[in-house]
Structure 1
Amino acid sequence: METFESEDYMTVVVAYKYAANPQDASVDASGAIDWTRAKPEISEYDPVAIQLGRNVADAQDTELVGISAGTSALTHKMATRNALSKGLDRALLFGQDGVDSWSSTKVASALASLVGQIEGADLLITGDSSIDDGAKMMSAITAGFLGWPCFQEVTALEKTDDGYSITQSVPGGTRTVAVTGPVVVAATPEAVSAKNPSMKEMLAAAKKPVATVQEADLELVEAPVAVTGTAKPESKIRKNVLLNGPDAANQLVAALRADGVL
């Protein structure tokens, strides 16, 4: 395993996912998803996380390290250059075929192990969700393995003398939390504007260091999940009820309540 020297300062880490785009997937008559034509790419929410990490790393003059766990496609040159060109200084990756069938818990344990191998890591940033599963659980589960607090729906993040100032979207507005010590945050798509890499940045990405680890280097937690069945959503017959007149709004509310929608 390749290792890197690190200075005595805090390190910002961003977890990204290299996964198949569901826009290219199809669903058969049984409801099963066919991913064979779907090309893998960086999850659409992750460039925001990388840009936010870049801003925070630049503010404290430290490095930004990307981590990921996925299939062997993750470690191909085009995939690593794509990720590095978005603002990462280096990457630490675990790529192995079959990882796409792992449970979220097992993947999170792999990510936590990768964070543990980065000297000085005190901040882990993730995207709001992943392009394929979209469960919004990875940040919280990884934080659990690390023993760090986790904040989701983060719209702004700044380094302070004692830690980080986190602005979080909550029902009815926002709140700002002061955090000391290491922390995991999941950035909303609106947190920053992700920049498109320039040709210079894409060329420079080819020279940035990438290290890979083996499964034996990770502390994995098994949490098997089995799919017991698939089915398309049940088709419902439209009622074709027309509501009109000055009391139409009240009629609609009453109808929705009768159907258990409200």
Structure 2
Amino acid sequence: MTVVVAYKYAANPQDASVGADGVVDWSRAKAAVSEYDPVAVQLARTVAGDSEVVGISVGTAAIASSMAKKSAMSKGLDRGVVVADDATQGWNATQTAAALAGLVGRVDGADLLVTGDSSIDDGARMMSALTAGFLGWPCFQEVTAVEKTADGYALTQAITGGTRTISVTGPVVVAATSDAVPVKVPSMKEILAAGKKPVEVVSVEDVAPVEIGVTVTGRSKPAPKARKNQVFTGESAVADLVAALRTNGVL
């Protein structure tokens, strides 16, 4: 058994700014491992035990830098396999998912792919499902726990009103909830040791990229909602407010 974790080395939105036209400026944002991904790594580490946990990622040349490697590997990964090419800068989610699936295929014995709940930049929450589609594996989101079974995995998934347990035969992709497991903060010793862990850089051509064109044709701010500007006063103010809310379908 080998557990694979997809992580993203991305710009932190806390450093970004939004212009008057609604466009996000990422030019001053510093890159880091997405804050949701350490949970995925820790969950994978819990499931794998003494087995190998391999990190995979697709991004620009920055993810092959020494800082990026230490940041990712110190979270609990044993090694990494990444596509680090500036050509991926303009890739859409489908292209990235296809490349991630290609990286999974390069990991011998991989039968579980764990992702974070979302990414800190786009936050689309669809990378797990897209990657599973290219792999031909089932995908489950909102997963809070994973256990290895004789013929697959037992998953605990958060649903409305509680949780449910799912038995999966064969390989599977899971997206971990942000609170699935406590995240261990790496020590300085672990960060330094992470720099010695192997990270294989794979070329774009070796992961069979797909040509899916997606173009942003425009942007606009949400239309402002008209306000009624109703003010209720006097002894009947509360009753009048409740009546107005009911009339407008709020209550």
Matched residue, 1:68: 57
Distance 1:102 1:113 in 2: 15
Q: Residue type of the partner of 2:30?
A: K
Q: CA deviation at 1:158?
A: 1.1
One-letter code of the match for 1:25? A
CA distance in structure 2 between the partners assigned to 1:22 and 1:226 by the alignment: 22
The match for 1:220 is: 209
1:24 correspondence with 2:24: no
Q: Which residue in 2 is equivalent to 1:255?
A: 248
- Per the alignment, residue 96 of structure 2 pairs with 107
Change (3 A) 1:249 1:44: farther
Alignment of 1:232-247 (within 5 A): 232-242=221-231, 244-246=237-239
Indicate the SS of the match to 2:68: helix
Match of 1:43 in 2: 34
Name the structure 1 match of 2:115. Answer: 126
Deviating 4+ runs (over 6 angstroms): none
Q: Which of 141, 146, 157 is 1:157 aligned to?
A: 146
Q: Within 2, Cα distance between the matches of 1:29 and 1:249?
A: 37
Superposed displacement of residue 88, structure 1: 0.2
Cα distance change of structure 1 residues 250 and 54 upon mapping to structure 2, 3 Å threshold: farther
Alignment check: 8 A CA contact 1:29 1:232 kept: no
How far off its partner does 1:248 sit?
3.9
Q: Offset of 1:250 from its aligned partner?
A: 5.0
The Cα shift of 1:62 comes to 0.6
CA distance in 2, matches of 1:226, 1:76: 29
Which residue identity lines up with residue 99 of structure 2 in the other structure? A
Secondary structure at the aligned position of 1:98 is classed as helix
- Partner of 1:178, secondary structure, is strand
Deviation at 1:233, TM superposition (A): 2.7
Structure 1 residues 106 and 254, CA, compared in 2 at 3 Å: closer, same or farther? same
- Write the distance in 2 (CA, Å) between the matches of 1:165 and 1:242: 56
Q: Secondary structure at the match of 1:201?
A: helix
SS of the equivalent of 1:245 reads helix
Shift, 1:70, TM fit:
0.6
Counterpart of 1:136? 125
TM-score normalised per structure 2: 0.93
Cα deviation, residue 203, structure 1: 1.5
Read off the aligned partner of 1:90 and give its amino acid letter.
R
Q: Deviations over 1:166-188 (max 9, x none)?
A: 00011221100011100000000
Quote the residue 1:6 is aligned against: none
Q: Deviations over 1:122-165 (max 9, x none)?
A: 00000001111111100000000000000000011111222111
Gaps of 5+ in 1: 1-9
| TM superposition shift of 1:57 | 1.1
Alpha-carbon distance in 2 for matches of 1:216, 1:102: 14
**SS of alignment partner, residue 238 of structure 2:** coil
Paired letter, 1:211: E
Closer/same/farther in 2, CA of residues 250 and 56 from structure 1, 3 Å limit:
farther
RMSD across aligned positions (CA) = 1.6
Contact 1:150 1:185 in 2 (8 A): yes
Helix, strand or coil at the partner of 2:86: coil
SS at match of 2:4: strand
Query: What is the number of equivalent residue pairs in this alignment?
Result: 247
Identity %: 62
Stretches of structure 2 lacking an aligned partner (at least 5 in a row): none
Q: Residue 207 of structure 1 aligns to a residue in which SS?
A: coil
